[in-house]
Structure 1
Amino acid sequence: MMHLKGDELKRRLDDLFLQSIKENHNERLHEGRWVPFRSSLYYISSTERTWQESRDDCLSRGADLMIIDSQEEQDFSRRFSQEVWIGLTDSAQEGTWQWVDGTLLNTSYWLPGEPNNDDEGKEENCAEIHVDNGWNDRVCEKLNYWICEKMAEN
């Protein structure tokens, strides 16, 4: 029998979870309920709202919009087949992208040419995961699905 250390076991469980999602081919199955990944739980909405309404919904659930701080988490987020709001905005200062917890963006997964703040003269201050598997800046009033994130309880 093979014995695995905590981090290795957790990584293998995460890999198995991602594999099961890939094999499922119906990622929308997870909408409307909490999905575990690493040390967090994620809620994938089944309706569309503006960025602020989405954030308000997350806060009402004891969570916030998703913060992506690793390649693994970016890969996990791309398993869902619709555009979704994430917790990234430059509303406070144009061009300075900041996560909802106040940390500045340092690693990003923008689509080529993004962020471009280009929507017929309207400022695009909120970030979404685009169906092309990268990030896109959008007008915050656009209706979108969203992903909440909260720490998993031990």
Structure 2
Amino acid sequence: MDCISANAEFKLPKTGRKKRGFGSPGVSENTGCFFKKRNPPHTKNTMKLFLVALCLVLLFDLVALCVLGVLYFNKGVSYESLSDQFISTVENLSVQLRNATAAAEELKSQLDQVQVNYENALSHVVSLNETERQYEVLKVKYRTAHEVFSACKECQKCGQCGDGWKRFGVKCYYFSTDTLNWMNSRDRCVEKGGHLVIITSEAEQNFVSSSGETHWIGLNDLEKEGKWMWVNKQPLTDTGVTLWFTRKEGSDEPDNWKQEDPSGENCACLGNDYGDTHSWFDSSCRKLKKFICEK
């Protein structure tokens, strides 16, 4: 180290800088000599610390990269697993869709078969209804034939019909000359041993209407409107013969006209006041008309 004697004249430049205190690195403690300024001894330690810190940072970065790589790898595995699950789910759904389609086709085939069976059953029902209708017609015809046969047997035992009675076939008919309402006509026929005429064939209709006059017959709907019954409690629908008057314009008979009688027209007669004795009309039971009895 170069040293300058303490006795030598030395002038400090006036820089306005304060003198360093005791132990200043620029002045020797014992000699009072001034020496040249060097780097402080802790500079090397600082460099070492810096290098160590840099190594630690690099090591931390390396570890972080490893961790990221592991996480990325694990994430990739998870994505692959999810992809496999998705593919498996899609395949299962496809299988279920195919099964559902096959089941739907099977159900449609069964439904078509049920429809065919229903139509067949419906045709059988229609056929059964027609058979029942024919059976009812045959039953009426049988009952009529039985009555005729029974009457024939009775006629073999009896003589003439009686005074004022006319024979047609196996029945006897009485054509009144006086006029009564329908209820009194019914009662008068009973008094004579018969009842108001019940018409069961067109031949009988032609015979009783040959007089050309309107007459009460034994048909009414007094118990229930629209349900026409003969005086022997037989429904009109059972006889198979209906000869109501029909019009080209307006309503057909029976029309239950209420302008003359508010209670309506609940009794049947041959013809009306204007003729047409070959057809039936409904009329007010209060009207006075001739009547026809049979026995």
2:179 paired with 1:40: no
For residues 287 and 270 of structure 2, what CA distance do their matches in structure 1 show? 13
Q: State the partner residue of 1:14.
A: none
> Once structures 1 and 2 are overlaid, which stretch shifts more, 101-110 or 42-51?
101-110
Hey, which bits of structure 1, 4+ residues long, moved more than 4 A? none
Q: Work out which of the residue numbers 240, 243, 257 in structure 2 matches 1:109.
A: 243
Task: Please state how far the C-alpha of 1:77 moved relative to its aligned partner.
Answer: 1.3
SS in 1 for 2:236: coil
Asked if 2 retains the 8 angstrom alpha-carbon contact of 1:114 and 1:135, the reply is yes
Decide which structure has greater helix share: 2
> Once structures 1 and 2 are overlaid, which stretch shifts more, 102-111 or 57-66?
102-111
Alignment of 1:64-83 (within 5 A): 64-83=195-214
For residues 110 and 95 of structure 1, what CA distance do their matches in structure 2 show? 13
For residues 216 and 168 of structure 2, what CA distance do their matches in structure 1 show? 18
The one-letter amino acid of 1:116's match is D
Alignment of 1:1-154 (within 5 A): 33-106=164-237, 107-112=241-246, 113-120=252-259, 121-130=262-271, 131-132=275-276, 133-150=278-295
For residues 258 and 175 of structure 2, what CA distance do their matches in structure 1 show? 26
Task: Please state how far the C-alpha of 1:137 moved relative to its aligned partner.
Answer: 0.2
Percent pairwise identity? 39
Larger radius of gyration: 2
Q: RMSD of aligned C-alpha atoms?
A: 1.1
The one-letter amino acid of 2:197's match is M
Q: TM-score, length-normalised on structure 2?
A: 0.40
Q: TM-score, length-normalised on structure 1?
A: 0.75
For residues 119 and 110 of structure 1, what CA distance do their matches in structure 2 show? 18
Higher relative contact order (CA 8 A, sep 6+): 1
Task: Please state how far the C-alpha of 1:140 moved relative to its aligned partner.
Answer: 0.3
Decide which structure has greater strand share: 1
1:111-144 CA-to-partner distances (Å, cap 9, x unmatched) read: 0110000030441000000020200000001000
Q: State the partner residue of 2:22.
A: none
For residues 111 and 78 of structure 1, what CA distance do their matches in structure 2 show? 14
Task: Please state how far the C-alpha of 1:37 moved relative to its aligned partner.
Answer: 0.3
The one-letter amino acid of 1:141's match is R
Unaligned runs of 5+ in 2: 1-162, 247-251
Q: How many residues align?
A: 119
SS in 1 for 2:294: strand
1:2-23 CA-to-partner distances (Å, cap 9, x unmatched) read: xxxxxxxxxxxxxxxxxxxxxx
Asked if 2 retains the 8 angstrom alpha-carbon contact of 1:119 and 1:138, the reply is no
For residues 119 and 83 of structure 1, what CA distance do their matches in structure 2 show? 20
